[in-house]
């Protein structure tokens, strides 16, 4: 069964303190690894898609990387506005995504 596990569940950072979030996955035939950001009380917002091991994508202070078994979301010098829940997902079949439970990041000024 396809599975996505994210760690840690919660991460509290000081502004400027870089850190990484982990997403480990088991899926038969990876069609893509996806990262979303979700603010409280809102729908998730698409961030990145990674397709193959070794691939990296960047957006502002965020960088996503992918290996054969896991993906990392690196947050460099975070700001309070980076506080959110970050979700990763894989595609277990055509037209659908399977999401992890997310990592809630809190950045204090």
Identify which of residues 57 and 79 has a Cβ nearer to another protein in the complex.
57
**Which tokens hold the place of 20?**
């990484």
List of residues 6+ apart from 98 with CB closer than 8 A: 2, 3, 4, 27, 89, 90, 91, 92
Identify which of residues 31 and 61 has a Cβ nearer to another protein in the complex.
31
Q: Which stretch binds another protein (CB under 8 A): 11-19, 56-64, 76-84, 92-100?
A: 92-100
Q: Cα torsion at 81, 25, 92, 85 (round to 10°)?
A: -20
15-39 burial by CB neighbour count: b if 16+ within 10 A, else e? eeeebebebbbebeebeebbbbbbe
Binding mask 55-84 for another protein (x = CB under 8 A): ------------------------------
Q: Which stretch binds another protein (CB under 8 A): 16-24, 65-73, 75-83, 88-96?
A: 88-96
**Judged by CB under 8 A, does residue 46 bind another protein?**
yes
**Which tokens hold the place of 4?**
């996505």
User: Which chain residues interact with another protein by CB under 8 A?
Assistant: 4, 6, 31-32, 34, 41-46, 49, 87, 89, 91, 94-102
């Amino acid at each position: 069964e396809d599975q996505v596990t994210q760690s840690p569940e919660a991460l509290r950072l000081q502004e400027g303190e870089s850190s990484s979030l982990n997403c480990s996955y088991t899926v038969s035939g990876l069609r893509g690894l996806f990262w979303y950001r979700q603010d409280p009380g809102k729908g998730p917002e698409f961030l990145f898609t990674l397709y193959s091991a070794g691939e990296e994508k960047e957006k502002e202070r965020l960088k996503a990387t992918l290996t054969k078994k896991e993906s990392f979301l690196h947050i460099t010098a975070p700001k309070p506005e980076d506080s959110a829940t970050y979700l990763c997902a894989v595609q277990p079949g055509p037209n659908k995504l399977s999401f992890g439970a997310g990592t809630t990041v809190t950045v204090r000024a």
